[in-house]
Amino acid sequence: MKLAIDAMSGDLGSHEVVEACKMFVKDHGDVTLYVVGKQEELEELKDLANVEIVDAREVVKMTDSPLGVRRQKESSMVKALMMARKDEVDGVVSCGSTGAFFTGAMLFVKRLEGVERSCLMAVLPTFNGKGSCLLDVGANAENTAEQLRQFAIMGSVYAKYVRHINKPSVRLLNIGAEDHKGDQVHQDAYKLLKEEKVIQFDGNIEGRELLDGNCDVIVSDGFAGNIALKSMEGTALGLMKVMKKAMLGSTKSKLGALLIKDNLKKELSAFDYKSVGGALMMGFSKAIVKAHGGSDARAVRSAMELAYTMVAEDVVTKMKEGLTQS
């Protein structure tokens, strides 16, 4: 297996990626890593077996316009994606800007056969700790019912082979439980999903239940999915800020905070609200994995493990099969 790692585009710099690569190659003798970035920052990896350094002089910044990636051919991000385009690697990992990385993937990496639109998937942290996949969270400003059906199949295959859920429960984000709810696209999507044999469709889901973890895959058009994801994120972050302020407001409350700290940590560990916001690229012919911008070595390594699983399980082929079988 061959993976390309964009070493430069994260918030914390190349050092964290270098550490992640060192950890990763120890466990995976079967993988060749192509680490793309300024070679002088990657010297530590130079002598490792199974690591190739690919020099790239440019860096795509978090503040760059996503569309600008078109012209950033010398950047570590685009160079890593180009290796996927040329079939030189099976997957790409980056902690760069989601917008730029997705745009780059759209421009440079082939779409999966049978997929009309690629999309972004987020794994929502749910209150029961199980997590649910939500797609699309904003790659598309609108989608057809047929595209929603394709998202459902991709999400379901992902949940099955990467998250090891035997028969993933798929639901459609809508404004009511009944099949006639929503606009024409969502009414049509409901019908298509109901008829679709390669997935387990369990009906509509409303915004209120999104974090309950009662299903594995939530299908949405990109507009509503983006609004839902960001609304939940804003609410969670805002509420946590309020709680923190209340706890640190006085000496008395600080003492109180100390006393509930352990329990709070335990309860919130199931619901890691900080991880809302990351996203996976779905619908490409290669495994394209986006780590959080602020990823440390451990988080980058997790992203690499994810790409590894996707390739090892041949998720892309299984998605293609699901899409063409149906």
Instruction: Please report, as ranges, the residues that interact with its own copies according to CB under 8 A.
Output: 127, 138, 141-142, 173, 175, 181-184, 186, 206-212, 222-224, 226-243, 245-247, 249-250, 252-253, 255-264, 266-268, 271, 273
Q: How far is the CB of 228 from its own copies (least distance, A)?
A: 5
Cβ closer to its own copies: 31 or 219? 219
Q: Minimum distance between the CB of residue 229 and its own copies, rounded to whole angstroms?
A: 7
Of the pair 198, 255, the CB lying nearest its own copies is at: 255
Q: How far is the CB of 232 from its own copies (least distance, A)?
A: 5
CB closer to its own copies out of 166 and 184: 184
Residue given tokens 């798929």 in the structure block? 170
Residue 246: how many other CB atoms lie within 10 Å: 12
Over the range 15-45, which residues count as b (16 or more CB within 10 Å of their CB) and which as e?
ebbbbbbeebbeebeebbbbbbbbbebbeeb
Q: Decide if 98 contacts 137 (C-beta within 8 A).
A: no
The CA-atom distances, in angstroms, between 50 and each of 44, 93, 273 are 13, 16, 36
Maximum Cα–Cα distance across the chain:
64
Map tokens 């407001």 to a residue: 249
**Smallest distance from the beta carbon of 155 to its own copies, in angstroms?**
18
For its own copies, give the closer residue by CB, 23 or 185. 185
Backbone angles phi, psi at 185, to 5 degrees: -60, -45
Beta carbon of residue 230, minimum distance to its own copies (angstroms, whole number): 3
Nearer to its own copies, 18 or 120 (CB): 120
Residue nearer to its own copies on the CB measure, 37 or 155: 155
Pairing relationship of beta strands 2-6 and 32-37 according to DSSP bridges: parallel
Cβ at position 29, least distance to its own copies in Å: 42
Sheet containing 91-94, strands listed edge to edge, beginning at the edge strand earlier in sequence: 51-55, 32-37, 2-6, 91-94, 287-290, 280-282, 119-124, 132-135, 217-219, 169-173, 200-205
Q: In terms of CB distance, is 83 or 100 closer to its own copies?
A: 100
Q: Which is nearer to its own copies, 155 or 182 (CB)?
A: 182
The least distance separating its own copies from the CB of residue 203, rounded to whole angstroms, comes to 16
- Please state the closest distance from residue 77 (CB atom) to its own copies, in A: 21
Contacts of 290 (CB under 8 A, 6+ apart): 93, 94, 95, 96, 98, 101, 102, 278, 279, 280, 281, 303
